Amino acid sequence: MLAERLTAQLLAGEPARTPEAVAERLLAIQAQDARGARLAVRARTSGLTAADVDRALGERSLVITTLNRGTLHLVRSEDYPWLRALTGPTLETTALSRLAGEGYAPDAAGRALAHTERTLADEGPLTRAVLRERLAAAGFATEGQRVPHLLFLAAIRGLVVRGPVAGREQALVLARDWLGEPPPVDRDAALAELARRYLKGHGPASDRDLARWAGLPLRDARAGLAAIASRLAERPDGLVDLRKRPPAAPLPPPRLLGAFEPLLLGWASREPVAGEHEGRLVAGGIFRAFALVRGRAVATWAVRDRAGPELHEPFVPVARTHLRALERERADVARFLSA
């Protein structure tokens, strides 16, 4: 199963050639850690650089916005409309509740969003700091977490997405200006596409894995899988996968994987990769960068601005040949990030 998932994830076998191809396979890459999302592309390609990901964002073939589990995700622009239509409404109650906790009633939030839309239409793209200034100047409360929660609501409603890079930050822009008017979305067809695409990059998996990854109710995950039942193969272990999938590739050579790596976020259980060491990889909602050897996490690592990637002490024995391979990975991470 682990080899099959690593192959589905593009971590084993033939690498992808472009950032768009990685996003096509994985469907949505968690991206609140910008470096981590770019490193997810590095691990699944060969010879690309972080600048290639930024190019795709600038050319609008990729986009970053709030989707799925209510956090930022990197997706293909053509997948954005139907993914947002599926996952955005499930987050509406959470968004309004957070705003209510900050003293924003639904009608006040609606007025603030209307002002944000007018401001971006007239002046956009704008950074979050500038939008905060514009809201404050118009008399809207901006203290605490009010502006992040307002922009969260704007994103899940399909009003804004992350657009061009302004300094070290991606500016916000109206989704319709950046990507055009969205096409109509048939919910049943979207659920079927969600199930198919999820399994393409994560199979074999279960209905609960899909529901957790997408941030949707279990009934929606089951409806999507039922819609593509003729394309599925049921396994003795209770998992399902797409029929006629090529055989799994051999386990990959040692890899350095970034923060919020999709391999830790794609299923309900992280045990196949993390084993008994999950607490070393995940704590307080933070998913640390880690080294993968024979499909298992063996150590964490971090990027030091001047010293480059630094591998921490392994928490399991690692063969010398694998340590040498991780040294080569350190050099490639530095190359990828510096270009």
pLDDT tens per residue, range 188-227:
999 999 999 999 999 999 999 999 999 999 999 999 999 9
Pairing of strands 286-287, 282-283: antiparallel
> Which residue in the block uniquely carries the two structure tokens 């990854």?
213
- Per DSSP, helices labelled H in the chain are 2-8, 19-26, 34-42, 50-58, 80-87, 92-101, 106-123, 128-137, 146-156, 175-179, 187-202, 207-214, 218-227, 262-265, 271-274, 278-281, 320-338
- Residue whose structure tokens are 């970034």: 258
Q: HSE on the CB side for 173, CA within 13 Å?
A: 20
**Per-residue pLDDT tens digits for 238-295:** 999 999 999 999 999 999 999 999 999 999 999 999 999 999 999 999 999 999 999 9
- Among 197, 195, 203, 253, smallest CA distance to 4 is for 203
State residue 320's pLDDT score. Answer: 97
What is the average pLDDT value for the chain, to the nearest integer? 96
How far apart (Å, rounded) are the C-alpha atoms in residues 187 and 170? 30
Provide CB contacts within 8 A for 232, sequence distance 6+: 199, 225, 240, 241, 242, 243
Beta pairing class for 232-234 and 169-174: unpaired
pLDDT of the residue at 167? 76
Nearest to 214 by CA among 78, 89, 98, 33: 89
In this predicted model, what pLDDT tens digit does every residue of 289-339 receive, in sequence order? 999 999 999 999 998 776 689 999 999 999 999 999 999 999 999 999 997
- Token reading at 194: 């969600």
